Amino acid sequence: MWGGRFAEGPAAVMREINASIPFDKRLWRQDIAGSIAHVRMQAAQGIIAADDAAAIEQGLRTIEAEYEANGVPERIELEDIHMVTESRLAELIGPTAGRLHTARSRNDQVATDFRLWVRDAIDAVDAGLKALQVALVTRAAEHADSVMPGFTHLQVAQPVTLGHHLMAYYEMIRRDRSRFADARVRMNECPLGAAALAGTGFPIDRSATAAALGFDKPTDNSLDSVSDRDFALDYLMSATQVALHLSRLAEEFIIWASQPYGFVKLSDAWSTGSSIMPQKRNPDAAELVRGHAGRIVGAMTSLVITMKGLPLAYSKDMQDDKPPVFEAHDLLGLAIAAMTGMIESVSFQVPRLRQVAEVGFSTATDLADWLVRDAGIPFREAHHITGRAVKLAEEEGVALDMLDLAALKNIDPRIDERVFAALSVDSSVASRKSHGGTAPDQVRARIADARIALELDR
């Protein structure tokens, strides 16, 4: 490829470090689609003859079938997917293949291919995230009334419903999908035709190639077109946020599956055993989801560091843009699928969840709220009174609703027998009727909203 300028070939190590075909071969579908759109535009604009364009497109279709059947050959000496394909095209149709690269550069070619690939990746991730949301909503509907402990600082705080807890993750994934959707809109501009960095003197129609490839419009600055990798960073940052959310849910499953908690039993399909301890049921799928999050964060950091100091326009450093995106995408797909499977199959131990919700004085806030609402006491004073009641219950080793009324009156005479109706976990949960609260009716309302958003009731 460099014979006109260089007298000698590259050193063996240079050939190896310079080659990207081992990883950018994943772009072959996008590369062929971009080349077909380009050659059709060339013919329409009179840049090349119609019969040459037809021969090139036919050759590209042949290569497409070959790649589909046999994969892409890793010819290191040809460097990348673009030159491997162009070389094969020349073998098939002869010197006419050389006309394909008129009015484009590998710089705008790879920028276009990579955008197309990331766009497809976003669509695949969105489908997976929607399936995860469906699983969360389905299980939440089963447990809209199931009482469990709500935690702050990993201490029992207030009772909530399991359905409410699961719907919290639905909301996280909803935001994740919106970030990917925003990234897709932002990136859907076509760099093809920017050439190396300055545009081209040929009478190309960039709007035609943009439309043919499903882009909204061509990019507006040729320098930015070939040097921009914001779309890849947007993907990685969105993927990182998903990975963090999945990792949090995975962490909860890991904790909940342990014997001290006993909140869930993971199915055999998503657990492993021990090579030495036959009693073990290890939450390895959840642990790997948690572990993959670190690798996805690392992939995002890798590209951020690569891009941080690059002057305009293209630099060879940018060849390293694709491995972190490919790795993150593969890991994210596995993590989403694994978490969806775990949600669908997990057995929630509802009696145990209720048992833990009833310890730790989880309805103390309800006592304080009752004092404010029914006894007319300012909240700060009610908080102090409740603290004394909790201390007494702790000393006597009973729950708040098991304290003797006389003992409560001794703490504050304004307390009467009506207070006991507010101190059960069921009453506590049912009272949280504010929008977005844990009351079962509110949980069912949010589930209904989610089903509409997910188009489950069409």
Three-state secondary structure call for residue 151: strand
- In angstroms, the CA 188 to CA 231 distance is 9
CA distance 106 to 213: 17
Classify residue 115 by burial, with Cβ atoms within 10 Å: 0-12, 13-18, 19+.
buried
Q: 413: alpha, beta or left, given left = phi > 0 and alpha = psi -120 to 50? A: alpha
Instruction: Determine the distance from the C-alpha atom of residue 195 to the mean position of all C-alpha atoms in its chain, rounded to a whole number.
Output: 33
Are 115 and 33 contacting, i.e. CB atoms less than 8 angstroms apart? no
153, 275, 347, 435: which is the annotated catalytic residue?
Answer: 153
Determine which one of 82, 164, 238, 274 is catalytic.
Answer: 274
Active site residue 82: no
Contact 314, 197 (CB under 8 A): yes
CB neighbour list of residue 67: distance below 8 Å, 6 or more residues apart: 28, 29, 32
Q: CA dist 294 to 231, 260, 291, Å? A: 21, 27, 6
CB atoms within 10 A of CB 232: 26
Q: Does residue 274 have an active-site annotation? A: yes
Token pair belonging to 293: 């999050």
Tracing tokens 């489950």 back to the chain, one arrives at: 456
Contact 361, 393 (CB under 8 A): yes
- For tokens 């040929």, name the residue: 202
In this structure, how many other beta carbons lie within 10 angstroms of the beta carbon of residue 34? 27
CA 309, distance to chain mean position in Å, is 27
Mind telling me the catalytic residues?
153, 274
